[in-house]
Amino acid sequence: MVCHDTTDTYKKTPTAAGMPDPAVDLVAVAKKVGKPTRKTCGDCHMSGGGGDGVKHADMSPQLYYPGRSCDVHMGGYDMQCHDCHKTQNHRIWGRSSSVAVAEGSRSCEDCHTASPHYGQQLLDYHLNKHTEHLLCTTCHAPLYSKCQPTKMLWDWSTAGDKERVVEKDKYGLELYDPRKGDFVWKESAKPEYAWTTGLTKRVLLGDPVNLEGETNLTEPVGYFNDPKSRIAPYKVMRGIQMADAQHGYLIVPHLFPRDKDDPTAYWKHFDWQKSFTAGMQAAGFPYSGEYTWVKTNMYWKLNHEIMPKENALSCAQCHDSLKDEKACLRCHQENKEVNFKELARKGTDFETMAAKGRDVVDLIGATDYIDFKKLGYKGDPIIHGGRFKTLPLGFVPVEEEQ
Ligand code: HEC
Ligand code: HEC
Ligand code: HEC
Ligand code: HEC
Ligand code: HEC
Ligand code: HEC
């Protein structure tokens, strides 16, 4: 009923592990079931991690009634979640970064094909070639959490200070909660980019973590020189969380008090030892009694908040080599009827977005959006060549003449 309620009265109680609130009139809800909406799916998915916009970067309650520039499918075309997440016998297609894929995958190409740029547009040839190396979202979702800030860092190690004066950031969000520790929030964030085959490597409960350095709890599997790998955008959520100092795995804390007599819950007693002992017992893992704080990263692939087509990244936002007068004329012949420089620069307009209050001032004028070197290239592929081949037409990549 949580998915099929149309009365907007169904709700769960936080302490009942998913069971409905006793106040809900289940018969009334059952008589009014209908198709899921962004709201019914969102009641769970928008607040994953214990609040709005915490874990999933590209999903927040803003998607209940989004503007076109917030999400072109759900805002511009009023698509519902299940228009993309096709469902057969309650098996919902679409794989998550955090849990193993169980019910099928979904891709942009399923609807748009791998050559979605058509017509007489001068850019179509190159755009369609790029889909061999880049996921669609790399160009079409150049920002995430555009409409509502998301949590970038969560430091559990500082929790427990009930005296601390809680400060707010520029978005008006609290930077500390004695129950949870310190946070960093960001709105309109630039993704981090990595190669992916679509598979994810995950650390499961009980797996070893790095007690000294960092551990990627989820991490895309992909390689520069694998033809099946492509570049994808991610939110990387950074954390400082508890680990068993002897067993070397993460600890499950017991946080939420079951009732007013709960003797071990952290959010009642603020005693980590009690909370860890109870949490690990419930999870079925030994706890040594000695804990430490470790650094963790989670890669969340970005799939939503697709911007309207005119806001995709421009050629020059990735290729520094195309920003000046030469632009396309590096390789093509002059054509008096075409303004090549303008064409190469037509894309995400950070200046207008910043003027409208989005937190993107530092991105205005960027021409190295995806940092080719970090991804394994020697530099801009137009100058230094692509992964597998140099360009046809006998074009030999040369070092940029200085
Ligand atoms: C009662 C809460 C709840 C509701 C309502 C809900 N989901 Fe989920 N969904 C979950 C949980 C929990 C997971 C697994 C954990 C995760 O990925 O965050 C999940 C996972 C998923 C996944 C990833 C599946 C995989 O195999 O990796 C998709 C896609 C998804 N849900 C879509 C939807 C859609 C579409 C709707 C509305 C029709 C919906 N969900 C409604 C709780 C819910
Ligand atoms: C325009 C198509 C589209 C719409 C509309 C859409 N999604 Fe997705 N979603 C995707 C794609 C594509 C993926 C990636 C799936 C994959 O890799 O198999 C995805 C992935 C997901 C995941 C797994 C990733 C994660 O962050 O855990 C969840 C959960 C999810 N969507 C929920 C929703 C919900 C809830 C809605 C409605 C509010 C929604 N989606 C609307 C296309 C869409
Ligand atoms: C269930 C099918 C479906 C899926 C999956 C899907 N789309 Fe779409 N998309 C549509 C439809 C329908 C439209 C609106 C009609 C059109 O332009 O073709 C659209 C429109 C668009 C547009 C043009 C928007 C504009 O400015 O008018 C872009 C860009 C786009 N999609 C990108 C993507 C990307 C990127 C993904 C993967 C994250 C994706 N789509 C997944 C169905 C889908
Ligand atoms: C290299 C960046 C890039 C990649 C990769 C890319 N696109 Fe685009 N896409 C653009 C740009 C730029 C436009 C606007 C084109 C124009 O104005 O001529 C666009 C336009 C579109 C449109 C509108 C089509 C039209 O002609 O009206 C759709 C739909 C679309 N893209 C979907 C996708 C899908 C699906 C993928 C992945 C298979 C994808 N794009 C990959 C940059 C890209
Ligand atoms: C999101 C960043 C991004 C955007 C936007 C982008 N490119 Fe690229 N481009 C790449 C990457 C990555 C490669 C290297 C592909 C490879 O390894 O072969 C590349 C390679 C190229 C190449 C040389 C290799 C080849 O296979 O032809 C040309 C030419 C090129 N891009 C032109 C363009 C043009 C024109 C546009 C605008 C329509 C554009 N690019 C937009 C990332 C981008
Ligand atoms: C680094 C060299 C390079 C740059 C820069 C470049 N292109 Fe190309 N372009 C090519 C190559 C190579 C082809 C493939 C020609 C062939 O196979 O016949 C091509 C093909 C095309 C085609 C298809 C031509 C046809 O006959 O089908 C168009 C249109 C085009 N480019 C437009 C552009 C535009 C517009 C820009 C700038 C935004 C640009 N190109 C930048 C190398 C480049």
Q: What is the pLDDT of residues 33-52, one digit of tens each?
A: 999 999 999 988 998 888 88
Could you tell me the sign of the dihedral formed by the alpha carbons of 131, 136, 137, 140, in that order?
A: positive
pLDDT at 104: 86
Would you say residue 163 has pLDDT above 50? yes
Residue 318 Cα to ligand 5 middle (Å): 8
56-78 mean pLDDT: 94
Looking from the CA of residue 82, the nearest atom of ligand 1 is 35
Secondary structure letter of residue 54 according to DSSP: S
- Whether residue 340 has its Cβ less than 6 Å from ligand 6: yes
Q: If you average pLDDT over every residue of the chain, what do you get? A: 93
Looking from the CA of residue 114, the nearest atom of ligand 4 is 38
* First CA to last CA distance, the chain: 66
* Count helices and strands in the chain by DSSP H and E runs: 12, 10
pLDDT at 236: 97
- Whether residue 279 has its Cβ less than 6 Å from ligand 5: no
Residue 402 Cα to ligand 4 middle (Å): 33
- Whether residue 283 has its Cβ less than 6 Å from ligand 6: no
Residue 37 Cα to ligand 2 middle (Å): 13
Contact 43, 50 (CB under 8 A): no
Would you say residue 394 has pLDDT above 50? no
pLDDT at 244: 98
- Whether residue 331 has its Cβ less than 6 Å from ligand 6: yes
Tell me how far apart the alpha carbons of residues 63 and 148 are, in angstroms, rounded to a whole number.
Answer: 10
Residue 6 Cα to ligand 5 middle (Å): 46
Q: Is the pTM of this model over 0.75?
A: yes
Three-class DSSP category at 263: coil
Residue 305 Cα to ligand 5 middle (Å): 23
Strand partners, 220: 200
- Whether residue 82 has its Cβ less than 6 Å from ligand 1: yes
Residue 327 Cα to ligand 5 middle (Å): 13
